[in-house]
């Protein structure tokens, strides 16, 4: 594995796990009042497009990291719509 792939993998890991604390908080409290629905919708759409971009490039790191991020941000968006 070259240095570029290592750096990209570490970056993908950090940006993917960054959503987990918020998702856990939303799951436990069902509180989404302070979250912007527009930010969540735009973010989830962007992550989905990054996933699609990864598929087009056949880049497994982009596909995996962004698929997980899309699921997590999509969950938060869903909870915002449901409880917001």
- The domain locations on the chain are 3-83
> Phi and psi at residue 2, in whole multiples of 5°?
-85, 170
Residue 49 to residue 44: CA distance in whole angstroms: 9
What residues have CB less than 8 Å from 13, skipping those under 6 apart?
Answer: 65
Percent of the chain with pLDDT over 90: 96
The whole-number average pLDDT for the span 56-60 is: 96
Which pTM does this prediction carry? 0.89
| pLDDT score recorded for residue 62 | 94
Whether domain 3-83 has CATH 1.20.1280.290: yes
Give yes or no for a contact between 63 and 9, defined as CB atoms under 8 angstroms apart. Answer: no
The DSSP line for 55-66 is HHHT-HHHHHHH
């Amino acid at each position: 594995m070259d240095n570029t792939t290592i750096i990209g993998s570490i970056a993908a890991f950090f940006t993917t796990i960054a959503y987990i604390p918020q998702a856990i908080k939303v799951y436990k409290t069902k509180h989404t009042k302070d979250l912007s629905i527009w930010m969540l919708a735009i973010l989830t759409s962007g992550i989905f497009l990054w996933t699609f971009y990864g598929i087009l490039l056949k880049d497994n790191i982009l596909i995996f990291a962004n698929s997980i991020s899309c699921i997590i941000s999509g969950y938060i968006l869903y909870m915002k719509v449901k409880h917001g």
